[in-house]
Structure 1
Amino acid sequence: MSEPPKIILDGGAIPSWQAFHDAFATKLGFPAFYGRNMDAWIDCMSSLGDADAGLTSVHLAPGEVLTIRVTGQKALQDRHPDIWAGLVDGAAFVNWRAIESGKRALIALACHD
């Protein structure tokens, strides 16, 4: 059995929204036309279970969940509460959208400092 998909986001290394979007675009293979805003982030993250969408290079099998392990969470939350809130709210919306369409949640956030 393969290991469930996960990425590590170093919150201490996220100094700006640009760096936030760069990190996710790189780690999850967002397309070149990725809009680098939370609406575009939500669209890409919502497509994790749909390989045909072409919005990520990481694809979840049915029932799989992507774990986003956030290290340096306190540093991110203290320095950039807007980015932290965007990540939490965005992940919650992606999961809500999936559940509303009869699927399982797609994202799990894990953090500890």
Structure 2
Amino acid sequence: MPTASLNGDIITSWESFHNESAKVFGFPEFYGRNMSAWIDCLSYLRDEDGMSKFRLKENEILNIEVLHSEKLRQHAAEIIEELEFCISAINERYDDYGEKPALKLTLR
């Protein structure tokens, strides 16, 4: 299972979250740096859309792990809450397309 590791030790704000996400996921330069754009970039991981460096096979899952998640929770708990919500929304999109969920969140 491919893994994208976000470093919760350096995420202290939405700006740093989007900086880390752009780097870790390989989002394009025109990435909108908001959660709607984040969702869009991760909604087509099984297609060749170039919105992320990850390309999943038919039933493959991308594990999004947040390292030092307790530190992130101390600095910006709302980011973890939003991550949980957005990953669920993305997986619902995959379900709507008749595909298996593509994302799993692991807090470390």
TM-score interval, smaller chain: over 0.9
Runs (5+) with no aligned partner, structure 2: none
The runs of 4+ residues in structure 1 deviating greater than 6 Å are none
- Give the Å deviation of 1:16: 1.1
Percent sequence identity is: 36
Aligned pairs, how many?
108
Cα distance in structure 2, aligned partners of 1:29 and 1:10: 15
Q: Does residue 101 in structure 1 map to residue 82 in structure 2?
A: no
Cα distance in structure 1, aligned partners of 2:60 and 2:45: 10
- Give the Å deviation of 1:18: 1.2
Query: Could you tell me the TM-score, scaled by structure 1's length?
Result: 0.89
Let me know the Cα RMSD of the aligned residues. Answer: 1.1
Q: Which of 13, 21, 30 is residue 16 of structure 1 equivalent to?
A: 13
For 2:39, the equivalent position in structure 1 comes to: 42
Report Cα offsets for 1:20-46 as digits up to 9, x if no partner: 111111111111111000000000011
Cα distance in structure 1, aligned partners of 2:56 and 2:62: 7
Query: Could you tell me the TM-score, scaled by structure 2's length?
Result: 0.93
SS of the residue 1:54 aligns to: coil
Cα distance in structure 2, aligned partners of 1:10 and 1:26: 11
